[in-house]
Amino acid sequence: MVILSTYIVCCSLVMVKFVATGGLYNAARFKPATQSSDYDPFYAYLGVDGNYDPNAMNGHCQQTKEEPNPWWMVDLCGQFVIEKIQLTN
């Protein structure tokens, strides 16, 4: 995720490394995502669609409108012990 001025752009999000197995798992993929505003057509769910294409013009990145204090979040729909978070931008 990159905070540029006062908006957020993110192309893919949250690879979780499980401590017990040491394996990586995309716990956020296809989970409910929301953000402070939608910069059409870069909706919040595009941050968790599983596509790692970093070119926003290909339609797989999320972005907020320019605003004070932008935010983006995903509900992992469960509890996880998170050792590592990997962001692709």
Domain residues of the chain, as ranges? 2-74
Give the contacts of 57 (CB within 8 A, at least 6 positions apart): none
**Bridge partner residues of 30 (DSSP):** none
Omega cis (within 30) before 68:
no
Nearest of 16, 10, 21 to residue 64 by alpha carbon: 10
What whole-number distance in Å separates Cα of residue 57 and Cα of residue 79? 34
Tell me the pLDDT of the chain (89 aa) as tens digits. 444 445 566 555 545 555 555 666 778 889 999 999 988 888 888 888 888 777 777 777 888 888 888 888 888 888 877 777 766 66
